[in-house]
Structure 1
Amino acid sequence: MMLALLPGEIVLQVVSFLDPQDLSELVLVSKDYYSFFIPVLYDQVVLPLNAYWDDGYRLVEGSHKNPVRRFCQAMIENPRLAPLIRSLTLYPSHCEKWRSRAPLPTVPEEKLRALMLPYGDAKRKHRRKYRAWRRDLRPDRERQDMYHEPWIYEDAWLALLLVQVRNLERLAIRLPEERMKFDFETIPQTQGYTTHFDRVIHWARKPELGVLTRLSQVSLRDGPVWHNEGAIEAVPLKRMLPYLRIPSLRTLYVRNPCNGSLPRKLLRDLVPISSSLTHIDLEGPHDDLSNLPQFLEWCPNLESFAVEMDQPWHWRSWVDVSQLYRPLQKSRSSLRHLHVAFAGDGRQITQDAESPRPTFFGDLSVFPNLHTVHLRWSNLLPFYGSRALEPAQPLRTLLPRSLQNLYIEDCLMQGAWALGDELEGLLQYRREERGLPALQRLFCQFVHHEGHSRGVPAPSREEKAPEPDLAWEGRLRGLQEDLGALGVSLRVIKRGASVPFPPDRALRHNWPLCENGEYYNDFDY
C-alpha cells in the first residue's frame, strides 16, 4: 500500500531496478498494480530464438514449445498487450527450459487471416503467400509435407508477431544464417530461413499497411552457424537493403557486416532514391565492404557514421576509407559525427609508418556542421610518399570550424614530432586567427604495438617499439598548457587504454546472456 502513495515518477524509477520476473509477480498483486505495471513489463521484450543451423539448436524449433510461438499466441489471445511493446530483442538460445512446457490450443483461422493479409486476398499471389505462411505455422507433427524444405516454423510465428507489435520502436535480432545447400554436381545454392520475417520488413515500407510504422532503430548481428554447411559468419549488405525502405527508420547498427553481392533486380525493386536513415554504425566488418560506398549513396541524411574494424589482421583486408569520402558528401550539411578506426583485435596488430598503408580520408572542412571526428593518424592527413611521417597538408586546413571534439588514433612515436608540429599549428591557428572556435577536446592515442618501417633506424638490435623521449614529453606539456589557456583540453591516452569519446558506440545494442552466463558478444560458438 505504501507504494501506491508515492508519486508515479518515483514508482517508475523504483520499478526500473526490477527484472521481468519481479514485474510479472507485481502485476498479480491487484487490478491497480496490473494497470500501472503491465506497460512497464511489456515495454522491453526479450525472446530466445532456436532456429539456427548449428549444433545444439533447433530443439524446439518446430513444436508448440517454441518461445516465439507461445509469446505470439499470447498476443493474439490478448490483443491489448501487443501495442505496449516498444523494444524487441531476439537472441540465440538452446531453449532447454522450454522443452517441458505444456501444449497450446490451436489458434482459430479467422484470427490469423486478418493479420496475415494486409493487402487483402483479391490477388492470387497474395493468396499463395498466405497459404505458404499458414502451412509454415503448423508444427512438425501436423504437417503432411515434411519433404518440403525449408521448414521455417519459428520464422512464420516471428513474422506473425511483428505484424502485431504496431508500436515497436527498437528491434534487435541475431539473424539466422542463409544456409548453403551443397551438391557436388551443381553450384551451391543459398537457402533462406527468414522468408516470412523478410516479407514483413518489406511490408513496412508502406505506412498505409500499418506494419512497423514507428520502427526507428534496428540492430542486426549474425547468428550461430553450422560451418560444414558453408554459411558465412556475417551479415551481408544485401540483407540490410530492405530496412532502407522503412520511412520511420533512423538508426541502423550492424555487428560483423560483410560485402556480399547486390543483385540488380534487388537494387531496382527495394532501394529508394534516398533513405531516411540518420545514424549508421558498422562494427567489425568481415571483409573490405567494397559495396559500402554504394550503400552510403542511398543515405543522404546521415548525422553520424561509424565503422570500427576489429577483425584479425592476418585474414582480411581493411575497409578503404578513401572510397567513403565521396558518398558521405551527400550528407555534407547533416553529418555531425564521423568515426572510422580500429578496435578490439584490430588494435593489437603491429603497425608502423607504412603498414597499414596510409590512406587519406578526405578534406573534412567541406562538412560545415561536423562536431566530432575520430580517425586514425594515417587517415586524417595526406602524406608525402608511402609513410605516415611527413604530412603533405597542414591539419588546420582540413578541419571544419564547427569541430568540437577531435580524436587522433594510432599515432606513431616515429612521427611524434610531426604530430607535435600539427598540434602547434592548431594552437597558432586558434590563437592568432581564432580558428576552430568550437574546439573543446583534443585526444591523441599511440598504437598499441609499433614496429619499425624500412629505412628507419631502430634503437637496438631487438627493434623494440620507440618510446617517448624527455624532449617530446616537455613539448607535450607545453602544448597542453597553451591549449588549456585557450579552452581546449589536450589529452594523450596511454597505449591500450580506452576512454569515452562521445558519441562513440552510443548506438550499440547489448545482447542478452546465454545459458552459460557469458555475453554473446564474447561467446565462442
Structure 2
Amino acid sequence: MTTSLPNDVLLLIGEHLNQQDRWNLLFVSKHFHDLFLPFFSHSVALHNWHGTLSFIRAISKRPSLARAVRQLDLDAWKSRSVSDDERAQIRDSVQLRDWLTAVSDSEDDRLQWRKDLQNGFGDPWIALVLPQLVQLKRLRLTYASNTPFLDRLMQRAVNPKTPIDGRPILGRLREVSLRHQEDLDRPKNQDDAELEDRSSPSSSSLILPFFQLPSVQTLRAESVIDPSSGTSGTSEDEENTEEQWAPGFSSIKEIDLRSSNGNHGMESLIASCADLRSFKYQHTDAHIVSHGYQPSAFYRSLTRSKNSLQTLWLDQHGDHYPFTAAGLNQTHDEWFGSLAGFVALRQVRIRLPNLLDIRYQNQPSTPLVDCLPPTLETLYIEGCEERNLSMLASQLQTVIKNRQAKVPQLHRVDIEGAFHDDPSDDSGHSESSPNECPESMIKDKILQAAEPLHVDCLNAGIELHLHDRMCSAPTEVSW
C-alpha cells in the first residue's frame, strides 16, 4: 500500500486515533508498522527488573521506541527474585554491558552497578533506563530510602557538563510523582548497614534535583521532610547545593506534598519557584524527626508567591500527635495568617483553626471577611468542631453580605467536620463503629445551625456543602 501523505501528516492523524485503530494500522503495511509502532511506547509501565530488562533489549534494537516514550510509570514496582540462570543472563547481556559503559563513572562503579542489577534491586535498574528516554515528559516513581544510583544520576542530570552520550538527562521532563516506600524490594532480614536508618525516610535528597531540571513544572511527592529544617539527614553536599540556590530559579509551578513534615514551611522549595501557582500540603507527625504543624511558617514561605499562587491546600486531613520529636505538640492549631494579600488566590482548602485565629477565644481576632483574598472562588474549611459551627456560619454570612466588595467571584463553600449522628441502642451505647455509619449521618441540629447560612448562600447564588469524613463513604449534604 502506498500513500501520498507525508509521514508527519500520518503521525498527526495517528494521534487522534484510539489504541485499537492504531493497532490495526500496524498490519496495513511495513511502512505503517514502522511508522506507528512507536505510539505503543508512548506510555510505559515497568513493574520489576525482569520487565525492565526486556524493555532495555527492545529499545536497544529499535532506538526509535525509546525516543517515543513520553510517560514512564514505575509506581507499582515490586520485588522479583533472580535465579542463578537469570543472574548469568544479566551478567552476559551485551545491551547492559554497553549501556553500563556509557552511564557509569568508573570501573568500580560499573562493577557495583552490575552486581546490584543481578540482585534485582530497583534503584540500579531504574537509574539505568531513565537516561535512555530522552523525550520523557511524565515520571511516576516509587523509591526506597537508599538510592545511590538514582542519586548520582540526578546529580548528573542537573549538571550540564555531565551528559550521557552527549545528550542531557531528563531535559524534557515536565511532571514528576515520587512515592516513598521504606526499603523497597529489599529482603526484610537483610543484615545491611545501608538499612540502619529505617525509620527516618527523607525524600529531600531525591527531590531537590528535580527543582533544578529546566522543564519540570509539576512535582508530587510523599514523605518529604523539610529540607530547610536541618533535621532531614541531608548530606553536606546537599546543604551546599541548597546554599547555592538563588530564589526563583526553578520552573516548577505546582507542588503537591503528601504525608510530609514542613517544620520550616518548606521554605527552600517554595523560594526556588519563580512562578508558583499551586501548593498542596498534607501534614503528618508520623516521621521520627517530625515537629508539630506550624502554619505561620508556611505563611512566611508562601508570601513570596502571593502574586502568583492560585491554589492553596494546607494540612488536608493531616495527622497530628500529642507529642513530637520537639516534645509536647503545642503549635498545630496556630493561625496561618490573613490571605487577603494573596491577590491571585482562587481555591483555598484549610483547617478552621488555621483559617481563623480562635485558639483561645470564641470569636476570631481578625474577622473572616478581612482574611480572604479578593479573587477567591472556592473555600473548603476542614476540621470544624460542632461548638464552632455557629460562629463560622455567622462569619460566612458576613462574607456573603459583603461579597460584591470583598469576594465577588466566590461561588462555593464547603464545611467539613465531625457532624455525624451515631445510632444508639436503648441503653444509649453506639451500635456502629466510625466505619459503619448509616446512610443519613449529619445531625439535625447541625443542619438547623447551618440553615440560615444556607438561605444566604442560596440567595447569593453560592453552593454550600457540609461534609463528614468519619465514615468509609463520607457524608455530604448539598442544598
Counterpart secondary structure, 1:261: coil
1:441 corresponds to which of 412, 420, 423? 412
- Deviation of the 1:88 alpha carbon: 1.0
- Matching residue of 2:223: 256
- Matching residue of 1:269: 241
For 1:497-516, what aligned pairs fall within 5 Å after superposition? none
- Matching residue of 1:35: 34
For 1:385-404, what aligned pairs fall within 5 Å after superposition? 385=360, 389-404=362-377
- Deviation of the 1:366 alpha carbon: 1.2
The 1:415–1:467 alpha-carbon spacing in structure 2 relative to 1, beyond 3 Å, is farther
Name the CA distance, whole Å, in 2 between partners of 1:314 and 1:234.
9
Normalised by the length of structure 2, the TM-score is: 0.74
Give the conservation status (yes or no) of the 8 Å contact 1:138–1:153. no
Name the CA distance, whole Å, in 2 between partners of 1:307 and 1:403.
19
Residue 166 (str. 1) matches residue 134 (str. 2): yes
Counterpart secondary structure, 2:256: strand
Instruction: Identify which of structures 1 and 2 has the higher relative contact order when contacts are C-alpha pairs closer than 8 Å and 6+ apart.
Output: 1
Residue 383 (str. 1) matches residue 358 (str. 2): yes
After superposition, the C-alpha distances for 1:393-440 in whole angstroms (9 at most, x for unaligned) are 111111111111111111122011211211111112125xx3212222
- Deviation of the 1:329 alpha carbon: 1.2
Name the CA distance, whole Å, in 1 between partners of 2:390 and 2:449.
7
Counterpart secondary structure, 2:150: helix
Counterpart secondary structure, 1:219: strand
Q: 2:148 is aligned with what amino acid? A: T
For 1:330-409, what aligned pairs fall within 5 Å after superposition? 330-343=304-317, 346=319, 357-383=332-358, 385=360, 389-409=362-382
The 1:301–1:158 alpha-carbon spacing in structure 2 relative to 1, beyond 3 Å, is same
For 1:486-505, what aligned pairs fall within 5 Å after superposition? 488-496=462-470
For 1:299-318, what aligned pairs fall within 5 Å after superposition? 299-309=273-283, 318=292
Q: 2:204 is aligned with what amino acid? A: L
- Matching residue of 1:187: none
- Matching residue of 1:478: 455
- Deviation of the 1:170 alpha carbon: 1.1
Residue 295 (str. 1) matches residue 272 (str. 2): no
Give the conservation status (yes or no) of the 8 Å contact 1:136–1:153. no
Give the conservation status (yes or no) of the 8 Å contact 1:216–1:249. yes
- Matching residue of 2:395: 422
Identity %: 24
Residue 212 (str. 1) matches residue 197 (str. 2): no
- Deviation of the 1:84 alpha carbon: 0.6
After superposition, the C-alpha distances for 1:363-404 in whole angstroms (9 at most, x for unaligned) are 11111111111111111111262x5x3211111111111111
The 1:280–1:474 alpha-carbon spacing in structure 2 relative to 1, beyond 3 Å, is closer
- Deviation of the 1:261 alpha carbon: 2.7
Name the CA distance, whole Å, in 1 between partners of 2:453 and 2:83.
60
After superposition, the C-alpha distances for 1:191-230 in whole angstroms (9 at most, x for unaligned) are xxx3232222122224573211101111111224366644
Counterpart secondary structure, 1:218: strand
Aligned residues: 421
Name the CA distance, whole Å, in 2 between partners of 1:44 and 1:109.
22
The 1:283–1:397 alpha-carbon spacing in structure 2 relative to 1, beyond 3 Å, is same
Give the conservation status (yes or no) of the 8 Å contact 1:384–1:392. no
Counterpart secondary structure, 1:366: coil
Residue 222 (str. 1) matches residue 180 (str. 2): yes
Name the CA distance, whole Å, in 2 between partners of 1:41 and 1:446.
46
Name the CA distance, whole Å, in 1 between partners of 2:363 and 2:453.
19
Name the CA distance, whole Å, in 2 between partners of 1:9 and 1:315.
51
Counterpart secondary structure, 1:159: helix
Q: 1:35 is aligned with what amino acid? A: D
Name the CA distance, whole Å, in 2 between partners of 1:409 and 1:108.
54
Name the CA distance, whole Å, in 1 between partners of 2:53 and 2:287.
42
The 1:423–1:141 alpha-carbon spacing in structure 2 relative to 1, beyond 3 Å, is closer
The 1:245–1:415 alpha-carbon spacing in structure 2 relative to 1, beyond 3 Å, is same
Give the conservation status (yes or no) of the 8 Å contact 2:202–2:233. no
Give the conservation status (yes or no) of the 8 Å contact 1:348–1:449. no
Counterpart secondary structure, 1:252: strand
Greater Cα offset, 327-336 or 310-319: 310-319
In structure 2, runs of 5+ residues without a counterpart are 2-9, 190-194, 227-231, 323-328, 422-427, 431-441
Name the CA distance, whole Å, in 2 between partners of 1:213 and 1:428.
51
Name the CA distance, whole Å, in 2 between partners of 1:39 and 1:217.
21
- Deviation of the 1:441 alpha carbon: 1.5
Counterpart secondary structure, 1:367: coil
- Deviation of the 1:481 alpha carbon: 2.2
- Deviation of the 1:48 alpha carbon: 1.8
Name the CA distance, whole Å, in 1 between partners of 2:419 and 2:108.
54
Counterpart secondary structure, 1:364: coil
